[in-house]
Each structure stands twice: as C-alpha cells, then as structure tokens.
Amino acid sequence: MELKRNIITVYETSSTMDLAKEFSKIFLPPFIVRAFIQTKGRGQYERKWQSTYGGLYFTEVLDLNNILGFSTFLSIPILRVLKRFVEKVKVKWPNDIVIEKKKLGGILVEKSNFTYAGIGLNVQNDVKDFVNFSVSLKDFVDIDKETIFWAILEEESNLIDKFFENGFKNFKKEYEENLAILNKKTKVNLGYKVVEGVVVGVGNSGELLLDENGKITDIFSGSIVNFYE
Ligand code: BTN
C-alpha cells in the first residue's frame, strides 16, 4: 500500500485525530492528515501531547478489518528510520519510542468507522518543559522533520502489506531486538492492578510476555509504570 499519495497538511489544528475523522466523511482511506502545530494534541490514557512547531504530528486513516497488533507493528518503520540517525532509539511496549528512559515519540490508535493511527515525534521541537521525561531528536542530531516524515511513510508503505498478510508475527523478532524492557524487571499497570515481573518477549500479536516468578502472563493491554536495569 502506498501511503505517500494522499496527504492533507494544515498548519494548525486541535488534533489531527479529530481533523482526520472530519475528513473521513468526505474522503475514502487510505489518507493522512498532518499538522505543524496541534493545540489539543492527545496521547494514550487521555494524556496531553505537547505539539509545538518543529515536531512531527500526523494521523493515518486506514480501512483495516483487524487491528490486532497494528499499533505494535507501526513502531517498526519508525524505529528503522530513527535508528539511521540515532542508534540508541528503542521501543517501550507497546509503542512508545524512547531514548534511554525518555520519550521521543508515541502512537495512538483509535478505531471507529476506520482506523486512525496518530503518530507524534519530537524532532526539532523543544521539550524543555517536559525535560525529565521527554527528549527530542534535535538533542542528538541535526535532522529535518520532512526527511523523517517521508522516510517513515516510505518504510511503512514497504512493510504494511506483509503486516496485512501475516499480522505482527513477522516483525516480532525485530521488535524484541529493539525492546527497551527486554529481560528487565518491569512494573505494568493493567488498569485494575499493577503486576511486576521480567519481560521475556512479545507474542505473535504483540502482547507482552511477563515472567512473574516462573509463570508467564500474556498482557494485551496495559502501560509500563517503570523498569529497572
Ligand atoms: C502516546 O504516546 O500517548 C501517543 C501520542 C500520540 C500523539 C499523536 S500526534 C498526532 C496525533 N494527534 C494527536 O492528537 N495525537 C496523535
């Protein structure tokens, strides 16, 4: 699937997630909505996503039957591109893009009539207000957000058909090789309780495999509270 063909770019919007939903009333997917600034950028768990000029903010609108593993898959083209510039970029399950423990980017997937996959990356924007837990590519390398944007779309266009055919499992090994929490003692919030164990990998659908004192649990949904060296 070619993702570079239909792109709507605006200078500023509240959130490309919402604008993409508006455009889906008049355009058929696949298409992408991109903005240079978001005034109400949002992340997972209703967190705010700081979206000042210089970052990369876009939402892909796709017509997918099955989204199992899709958001985890999406981290693969992003990792491949970012690692060309900063080798130590990793993924923190399920799809936080990190450098050491600091967040460089994130993915938000929302499903309604279509699948809306929002990607936010700190590229040339300043993250000084959030410096304790965020990081920007510009702190490591002088790189233009346009280069990153087009390279991600190119890489994803080349990989997405393989995801449609066989799901996430083809990407499992590459994902694990780049997983920041692999073999680390990790605390995971499941929403109704917090569990702790050692991450031993991911399953064929991108679920986290956590070893809790010898018992392996499959976690399909949750967020990492912390992990330890
Ligand atoms: C997360 O890590 O919590 C996900 C962050 C996703 C941010 C992107 S920026 C483009 C799109 N529009 C939004 O409002 N959010 C996503």
The whole-angstrom separation of Cα 118 and Cα 146 is 17
> Mean pLDDT in the chain?
96
Q: What are the domain boundaries of the chain?
A: 7-177, 185-228
> How big is the CA angle at 77 (ends 121 and 167), to the nearest 5 degrees?
125
CATH 3.30.930.10 assigned to domain 7-177? The reply is yes
Q: Whose CA is nearest to atom 14 of ligand 1?
A: 41
For residues 141-148, give the mean pLDDT.
96
Tell whether pTM > 0.85.
yes
| Amino acid 177: pLDDT | 98
Per-residue tokens: 140: 């490591």
**Could you read off the pLDDT of 73-90 as tens digits, one per residue?**
999 999 999 999 999 999
φ, ψ of residue 24 to 5 degrees: the values are: -70, -10
Could you tell me the two tokens for 109? Answer: 């997937």
Average pLDDT over residues 157-163: 96
Beta bridge partners of 58: 34, 119
Q: What class is the 185-228 domain?
A: mainly beta
Query: What is the rounded average pLDDT of the residues 171-199?
Result: 98
Q: What CA–CA distance (Å, rounded) separates 179 from 144? A: 26
**Cα within 13 Å of Cα(55), Cβ side:** 25
Residues with CB under 6 A from ligand 1: 15-17, 38, 41-44, 47, 49, 57-59, 96, 106-108, 118-120
DSSP 181-203: TTTSEEEEE-SS-EEEEEEEEE-
User: How distant is the alpha carbon of residue 120 from its chain centre?
Assistant: 8
Category of 170 on φ-ψ map: left (φ > 0), alpha (ψ -120 to 50) or beta: alpha
Task: Scan for tokens 């060309």, then name that residue.
Answer: 84
Tell how far the Cα of 36 is from the centroid of ligand 1, in angstroms.
13
- pLDDT of 131 higher than 80: no
**Cβ contacts of 135-144, under 8 Å, gap ≥ 24:** 135/98, 135/99, 135/100, 135/102, 135/103, 135/104, 136/54, 136/55, 136/104, 137/82, 137/85, 137/86, 137/104, 138/54, 140/85, 140/86, 140/99, 141/85, 141/86, 143/85
Instruction: State the distance from the centre of ligand 1 to the C-alpha of 190, rounded, in angstroms.
Output: 21
